[in-house]
Amino acid sequence: AFTIDGSGGFAFGYSLGVNQCNCPLRQIENHFQFVNNWTKQSGNHMFKWGIDLRRGQQLRIPSDDHRSGESEFTEGVTGRADLDVLTNGTAPTGLALASFLLGQPSSFDRFFTGIGYTPGLRQTRLFFFGQDTCASLPN
């Protein structure tokens, strides 16, 4: 995506900053669960126990800054800094379109997760319980 600031400026391409397209967005979420309870009666005792096993998986790769990159062109690249300072930036001497035609962006942003970074979450949770109920009479 390209953004050309200043008078007569425009933006083109597709990205979150140009046309509010958060694409491509890759998102996956899974949840697996196993639950079981057991009961055993022995004499005056009733034993109960159980397990709850949960596995969660989540993957989200955002595209806040486009993966191919976003270039921004401003007047400051082709303007005269000494004159721009005198006007406090209200009357820039440069032209953002000229910066674009010269291929001199003022900034460049790109989404990068980093080397060895996996933007996913894996989590296993185990829950157990046990109970003994004792009756003084067998009924």
Q: Which pLDDT score, from 0 to 100, does residue 137 have?
A: 72
CA dihedral 83, 89, 90, 91 (to 10 degrees): 40
- Domain assignment present for residue 139? The answer is no
Q: Which pLDDT score, from 0 to 100, does residue 35 have?
A: 96
- Domain assignment present for residue 57? The answer is yes
Query: What band does 30 get if pLDDT is binned at 50, 70 and 90?
Result: very high
- Domain assignment present for residue 84? The answer is yes
Segment 50-83, tens digit of pLDDT: 999 999 988 877 666 677 778 888 887 787 777 7
> Domain containing 110: what range?
2-134
**Separation of alpha carbons 109 and 6, rounded Å:** 19
> Considering only 8-12, 17-21, 38-42, which range has the smallest mean pLDDT?
17-21
Q: Rounded to 5 degrees, what angle do the CA atoms 70, 116, 58 make?
A: 85
Q: Which pLDDT score, from 0 to 100, does residue 88 have?
A: 67
- Domain assignment present for residue 92? The answer is yes
- Determine the 3-state secondary structure of 90 from DSSP: coil
- Domain assignment present for residue 82? The answer is yes
- Domain assignment present for residue 95? The answer is yes
Count the domains in the chain. Answer: 1
- Domain assignment present for residue 114? The answer is yes
Segment 85-125, tens digit of pLDDT: 666 656 677 888 888 888 888 888 877 766 766 677 889 99
Higher pLDDT: 32 or 12? It is: 32
- Domain assignment present for residue 16? The answer is yes
